[in-house]
Amino acid sequence: ATPTALMVGTGRGAQLGILIKGPEVLETSRRVDTIVLDKTGTVTSGQMTLVDVVAADGVDEAEVLRLAGALEDASEHPIARAIATAAERTGTLPRVEDFTNVEGLGVQGVVTDGESSHAVLVGRPRLLADWSQPLTPELESAMDAAAASGQTAVAVGWDGAARGILIVADAIKPTSAEAIARLRSLGLTPVLLTGDNETVARSVAEAVGVDSENVIAEVLPAEKVAVITRLQGEGKRVAMVGDGVNDAAALAQADLGLSMGTGTDVAIEASDITLVRGDLRAAADAVRLSRRTLGTIK
């Protein structure tokens, strides 16, 4: 294509809310055959709300929310926002020290509530298990029930034992199913990639039209890159769409990285294309635009 055509294509993209980093990006966009979609914040709104609190035997539900909420107040994760917001509604949150974000697993820290201090963990059961705080059978079954209905549950533990779970729900964006249908009609295979639980991931995949064999769940942030590399090793030309800090490395590794304009700066910087409005349909527009600009389709 001529430089003029590329400039026109890039300009047209900007009108459609597709910010393209450079003219060479159109060439890679034209060739991708697989599109890996981050779940939270990309296919779903990422705006979660707390829907339920389950406490272990002898534990107060309000305390589960209060201690977890205090800790999550220091985290930017969508799950954390939902928990902290709900906890704040119940009163002033306790003080937190030694806060640590354990990437892809959850958060930990020391929460001082009145006279007593507790070492609190909030996150995947795996995080609690790492600290020898396995879920009780009741908590485990509550967690499974939430996942089966497409909700995300995180575990809460303190002072050496699992104490409860918090259930949050994240709405699928109304445009996601249409976007995925459009990507398919352009010949791309959609893959859903997430750190979230397998059951939740499958339920979202089914709702938006991603085949169950193309669901890759319970992936740690560092493993997201390896998934992209593996697909590339199978000869696929891979586009990846993501929004989070934890997607940045995978976006950079993909042949074509697309970030949500509503996402984090780190993801935007690591990507080749930014979908300004955070609407996944613009990913299909971007592929169409590149094929048009480079003369593959009219």
Active site positions, annotated:
38
Q: What residues numbered 43-82 form the site for ligand ADP, per CB under 6 A? A: 72, 75, 77, 79-80
Among the listed residues 38, 73, 272, 279, the single contact to ligand ADP using CB under 6 A: 38
Phi, then psi, of 210 in degrees rounded to 5? -100, 130
Residue 234: count other Cβ atoms within 10 Å of its Cβ: 9
Q: Which residue is it, tokens 């193309």?
A: 214
Q: Both tokens of residue 136?
A: 């009780």
DSSP annotation of 254 reads S
Contact flag: residue 122 with ligand ADP (CB under 6 A): yes
User: Of 64, 66, 196, 260, which one interacts with ligand ADP (CB under 6 A)?
Assistant: 196
Instruction: With residue 240 as reference, give the H or E element that holds it.
Output: strand 238-242
Contact 137, 129 (CB under 8 A): no
Cβ closest to ligand ADP, residue 199 vs residue 293: 199
CB 278 within 8 A of CB 261: yes
Position 40 contacts ligand ADP (CB under 6 A): yes
Binding residue for Mg ion, selected from 10, 29, 34, 40, defined by CB under 5 A: 40
Q: Is 239 in the site for ligand ADP (CB under 6 A)?
A: no
Residue 271 binding target from Mg ion, ligand ADP, none, CB below 5 to 8 Å by type: none
The token duo for 6 is 């590329």
Q: Which two tokens stand for residue 283?
A: 């990913």
Give the interface with ligand ADP as residue ranges (CB under 6 A).
38-40, 72, 75, 77, 79-80, 104-107, 122-124, 152, 154, 194-196, 221, 244, 246
List interacting residues with Mg ion (CB under 5 A).
Answer: 38, 40-41, 243-244
